[in-house]
């Protein structure tokens, strides 16, 4: 990994938010690298790869293994993506592999680590190596305890400062339009009032 390559942590509410990343400005050149951390891959069914075996990020535990060998491209996503291991492996193994990212040769403009909000507590030890943090939330998803807990966790780990916090981004996938979307948006913004530092983009 080059010295100026950033590792961004992006928490998301629904797998289809991945289709909104370009619109939201996370993917710009296509030279970014998306990397999923998960107790079990949530994106594999989205890309019809549930039956494909992959070690994912844990392959980096093999000395000399290139991070780019792990990635694949999908026609709907501008940047390559590395899915979580399938079948699932121990979280500790994923964390050990992730800790190698800063020292591994990688020519991506940035690595965007994707973590579902429900999986965030499991991967909290990885927050220390992240350069910045964002949340992308589809307004079709009602906010729940997991989002509130994530806010507190980020606050406690001092991840919500001007240097590391990029913002709370609202979106709504075209295939998830709901008649009460405005109500859901209002509920979400009320919850965000608990954490004034979280700012909707």
70 Cβ contact list (under 8 Å, min separation 6): 54, 55, 56, 57, 59, 60, 82
43 versus 196: which is more confidently predicted? Answer: 43
Structure tokens at 105: 């040769």
How many contiguous H segments (helices) and E segments (strands) does the chain have? 3, 6
- Residue at token pair 């992006």: 10
Residue 200, pLDDT score: 43
CATH for 6-192, among 3.40.50.300, 3.40.50.1820, 3.90.180.10, 3.40.50.850?
3.40.50.300
Pair of tokens at residue 145: 């305890």
Q: What is the pTM of this model?
A: 0.90
Work out the pLDDT band at 194, boundaries 50, 70, 90. Answer: low
Cα–Cα distances (Å) from 21 to 34, 107, 136, 165, in that order, read: 10, 20, 9, 17
pLDDT in tens, 56-110: 899 989 887 777 778 889 999 999 999 999 998 999 999 999 998 888 766 677 9
> Could you tell me which residue, 99 or 188, shows the higher pLDDT?
99
Tens digit of pLDDT for each residue in 130-164?
A: 999 999 999 998 877 888 788 888 888 888 888 89
Domain ranges of the chain: 6-192
The label of the residue with tokens 């991070």 reads 67
Of 121, 94, 96, give the one whose Cα is nearest residue 11.
121
């Amino acid at each position: 990994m080059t010295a100026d390559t950033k590792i961004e942590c992006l928490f998301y509410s629904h797998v289809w938010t991945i289709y909104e990343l370009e619109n939201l400005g996370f993917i710009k050149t296509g030279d970014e690298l998306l990397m999923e951390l998960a107790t079990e891959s949530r994106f594999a069914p989205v890309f019809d790869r549930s039956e494909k075996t992959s070690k994912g990020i844990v392959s980096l535990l093999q000395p000399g293994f290139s991070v780019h060998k792990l990635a694949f491209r999908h026609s709907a996503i501008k940047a390559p993506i590395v899915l979580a291991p399938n079948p699932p492996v121990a979280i500790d193994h994923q964390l050990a592999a992730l800790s190698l990212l800063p020292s591994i040769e990688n020519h991506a403009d940035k690595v965007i680590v994707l973590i579902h909000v429900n999986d965030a507590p499991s991967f909290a030890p990885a927050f220390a190596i992240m350069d910045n943090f964002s949340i992308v939330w589809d307004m079709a998803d009602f906010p729940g305890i997991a989002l509130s807990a994530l806010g507190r966790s980020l606050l406690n780990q001092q991840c919500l400062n001007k240097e590391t916090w990029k913002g709370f981004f609202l979106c709504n996938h075209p295939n998830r339009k709901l008649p009460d979307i405005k109500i859901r948006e209002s509920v979400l913004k009320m919850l965000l009032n608990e954490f004034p530092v979280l700012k909707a983009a």
